[in-house]
């Protein structure tokens, strides 16, 4: 019988920050990959709303729904024995109305079994963060390039390069921590700013395109596995070329079927 594995919790992450042990987070959207990632030792599985892009093929993260996030969240939760599972709150489920935000967060926790939720933004969402946290639900924040605001930004450029936006980010980070967020994703901001925020915050920061000084790192699974060759930002390190592996395997399968080489009699029943 397999032994019980100790689950990564918000407390584990706080302890990791304290002892300067980097946190490894990756996105996951389905049972099969999540099981592999969990076995590989990933600390946090983020059911990102990037599912809207890499799973559903939308151009942005905006169209994905709460029901769809719950569906992906449940699949990942069923696979994760050790990793903490964080589910993104989709666009429209938390902005503007903190009661609606709490309702959406409760649905994610009850229906997917996730261990925490993540939402994007600073001061404008602090009331929602406070309300969700006060219901006992851990919240991860997300600042810098927040993809749900892509039409406001007008592109995927590095954020907070100019002093006013950097100053706002510093302030938003403090506000989120004060509202009870347990961790903060910093996306596509200058490394020195990410370092400063990381050192000034009591909670762990997890960077994507934010340099080496964050308390942890996150990448989108399909990008780091080389499944998505069109996306090549500077911050992306590819750990595999699965697009080639998958295409070669499928091309060989097509040939075998067409040539009646598959299945053989050994692969058939009498
Ligand atoms: O949805 C997502 O994949 C994310 C990561 C980029 C942090 O939010």
Q: What's the confidence (pLDDT) of residue 14?
A: 98
Per residue in 93-120, pLDDT tens?
999 899 999 999 999 999 999 999 999 9
Q: Is the pLDDT of residue 17 over 60?
A: yes
**Best mutation site among 72, 142, 216 for ligand 1 pocket (most ligand atoms within 8 Å of CB):** 142
Residue 27 CA to ligand 1 centre (angstroms): 7
Q: Is the pLDDT of residue 1 over 70?
A: no
Per residue in 185-223, pLDDT tens?
999 999 999 999 999 999 999 999 999 999 999 999 999
Per residue in 158-187, pLDDT tens?
999 999 999 999 999 999 999 999 999 999
- pLDDT band for 248, please (50, 70, 90 cuts): very high
Give the chain's mean pLDDT. 97
- pLDDT band for 4, please (50, 70, 90 cuts): confident
- pLDDT band for 3, please (50, 70, 90 cuts): confident
Establish whether residue 45 lines the binding site of ligand 1, counting it when its CB lies within 6 angstroms of any ligand atom: no
Find where tokens 């097509």 sit.
254
Residue closest via CA to ligand 1's atom 4 equals 48
Q: Is the pLDDT of residue 2 over 70?
A: no
What is the rounded CA–CA span in Å between residue 30 and residue 124? 31
* Three-state secondary structure of 69-131: HHHHHHHHHHHCCCCEEEEECCCCCCCCCHHHHHHHHHHHHHHHCCCEEECCCCHHHHHHHHH
For range 70-85, the mean pLDDT: 98
**Best mutation site among 85, 91, 185 for ligand 1 pocket (most ligand atoms within 8 Å of CB):** 185
Catalytic residues: 187
Establish whether residue 52 lines the binding site of ligand 1, counting it when its CB lies within 6 angstroms of any ligand atom: no
Q: What's the confidence (pLDDT) of residue 200?
A: 98
Q: Domains in the chain, start-ordered, CATH in brackets?
A: 10-239 (3.20.20.60), 242-270 (no CATH)
Nearest-atom index, ligand 1, CA of 118: 8
């Amino acid at each position: 019988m397999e032994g019980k594995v100790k689950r990564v919790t918000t407390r584990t992450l706080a302890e990791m920050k304290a002892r300067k042990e980097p946190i490894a987070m990756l996105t996951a959207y389905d049972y099969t990959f999540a099981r592999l990632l969990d076995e590989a030792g990933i600390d946090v599985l983020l059911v990102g709303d990037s599912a809207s892009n890499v799973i559903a093929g939308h151009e942005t993260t905006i169209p994905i729904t709460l029901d769809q996030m719950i569906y992906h969240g449940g699949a990942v939760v069923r696979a994760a024995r050790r990793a903490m599972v964080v589910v993104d709150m989709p666009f429209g489920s938390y902005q503007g109305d903190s009661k609606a935000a709490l309702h959406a967060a409760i649905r994610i926790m009850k229906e997917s079994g996730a261990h925490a939720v993540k939402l994007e933004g600073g001061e404008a969402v602090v009331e929602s963060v406070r309300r969700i946290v006060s219901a006992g639900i851990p919240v991860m924040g997300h600042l810098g390039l927040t993809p749900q605001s892509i039409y406001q930004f007008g592109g995927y450029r590095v954020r907070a390069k100019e002093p006013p936006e950097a100053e706002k980010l510093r302030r938003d980070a403090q506000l989120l921590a004060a509202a009870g967020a347990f961790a903060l994703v910093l996306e596509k901001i200058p490394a020195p700013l990410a370092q400063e925020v990381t050192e000034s915050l009591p909670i762990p920061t997890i960077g994507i395109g934010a340099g080496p000084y964050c308390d942890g790192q996150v990448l989108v699974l399909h990008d780091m596995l080389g499944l998505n060759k069109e996306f090549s930002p500077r911050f992306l390190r590819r750990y595999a070329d699965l697009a080639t592996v998958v295409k070669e395997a499928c091309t060989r399968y097509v040939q075998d079927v067409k040539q009646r080489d598959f299945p053989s009699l050994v692969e058939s029943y009498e």
